[in-house]
Amino acid sequence: MSHPIRPGATLGLLGGGQLGRMFTLAARNLGFRVHALDPGHDCPAGQVADFEVRAHYNDVYAAQALARGVDVMTVEFENIPSSTLEAVAELRPMHPSAFVVHTVQHRLREKRFLAEHGFPVTPFREINTEADLQAAVAQLGLPAVLKTASFGYDGKGQQKLDATTDLGVAFRALAGQQGILEAWVPFELECSVICARSSCGESAVWPVAENAHVRHILDTTVMPARISSEIALTAQSMALRIAEALEVVGILTVEFFIMADGELQVNELAPRPHNSGHATIDASITSQFEQQVRAVCGLPLGATALLKPAAMANLLGELWPKDGEPAWERLLAFPEVKLHLYGKTEARPGRKMGHLTALGDTAQEALDLVLEARAVLSD
């Protein structure tokens, strides 16, 4: 990109969920307009965007029509067909590129890219047949994790295998999709690093986030992670090197396993803002969403320092009563807790409906505060 795209321009967004909503709000704060495409009705991003197109992500014609009315395109999530991204890129700058999205939307391509570029990953094998699975288990041992190679998030399409598992049943659960078997990793901690890289090659990175999952869904995050400065610097450096190797323009999230000896293994990549970075809206000088706007527009990147240690807690659909909304006034009685709701009209178990953030003198203090506030919704 030879010239920056300045406020007043229009940004195109493929994806209309909560990440798109928060991106749109950040873009509008900077003076941009946003046009969003999503197959759903009354999607979270569409509620706050200037213009909403309702179409499926494989509708190349609709995506190109959207692109013609904007100055630059970006994505909310990675499960968008490469053919759509390539068609859009013929008309407008597309960040991240179709190559980046194509690489990280498929676990085998992602793992092979990382391994070929010297980044540490869990041992893995490609699974196309039941015989492949039998051979992979013999090589990697049990326990192990069998995943679909594509379209998996929040634990979807994942099975933990152990000595009691019927491998035939496990293979059939892939339902005809290509699979990947990953060796079981006895990690001590899960963390993530969110970094940004602009079209000019400028980069920035946030403090490491420490993540806790429940039923494979992110439950809480504290930032900065309660790890040594040496491990934190190694994780940040590796995330930036991965972003450079991929030539990412925008945001890249790198999820890590931290082993007992302090070694890091890359778990997954996401070429976009991430659930574990939501606290940056309230806790960082520049949020991950504002940074995405800056990066894809070729504008200078913002500072990523934290104002104070912070914590985030997800609000899932099971907190919603059957006959209406939670008692928000009870939660809002915590004056130091910030409530972020995503505008989703249907609450379902496991569905991310919003999140809470809080700052504290320590990460633990912030975490205790969001957990106490969330708990009043279940009383």
pLDDT at 47 over 50: yes
> Quick one: tokens of 76?
């909310």
**In this predicted model, what pLDDT tens digit does every residue of 182-220 receive, in sequence order?**
999 999 999 999 999 998 889 999 999 999 999 999 999
pLDDT at 241 over 90: yes
pLDDT at 154 over 70: no
**In this predicted model, what pLDDT tens digit does every residue of 97-139 receive, in sequence order?**
999 999 999 999 999 999 999 999 999 999 999 999 999 999 9
In contact, 296 and 249? CB cutoff 8 Å? yes
Angstrom distance (rounded) from CA 283 to CA 209: 12
Prediction pTM value: 0.96
Angstrom distance (rounded) from CA 180 to CA 35: 36
Q: Which long-range contacts (CB under 8 A, 24 or more apart) does 78-87 make?
A: 78/104, 78/105, 78/270, 78/271, 78/272, 79/105, 79/150, 79/151, 80/14, 80/15, 80/105, 81/57, 83/58, 84/14, 84/57, 84/58, 84/59, 84/60, 85/14, 87/60, 87/63
CATH number assigned to the domain with residue range 10-94, chosen from the 4 options 3.60.15.10, 3.30.1360.180, 3.60.20.40, 3.40.50.20 = 3.40.50.20
Q: Break the chain into its structural domains and give their ranges.
A: 10-94, 123-183, 189-375
> Once rounded to an integer, what is the mean pLDDT over residues 354-366?
98
Our measurement of the distance from residue 95's CA atom to the centroid of its chain's CA atoms, rounded to an integer in Å, reads 16
Which of 225, 278, 367 has the alpha carbon at shortest distance from 18?
278
More confident residue, 324 or 268: 268
- For 123-183, CATH gives 3.30.1490.20
| Domain range 189-375, CATH class | alpha beta
Average pLDDT, the chain: 96
Angstrom distance (rounded) from CA 161 to CA 181: 10
Q: Which residues of 48-78 are buried (b: 16+ CB within 10 A; e: fewer)?
A: bbeebbbbebebbebbeebbeebbbbbbbbb
State the pLDDT confidence band at 1, using cuts at 50, 70 and 90: very low
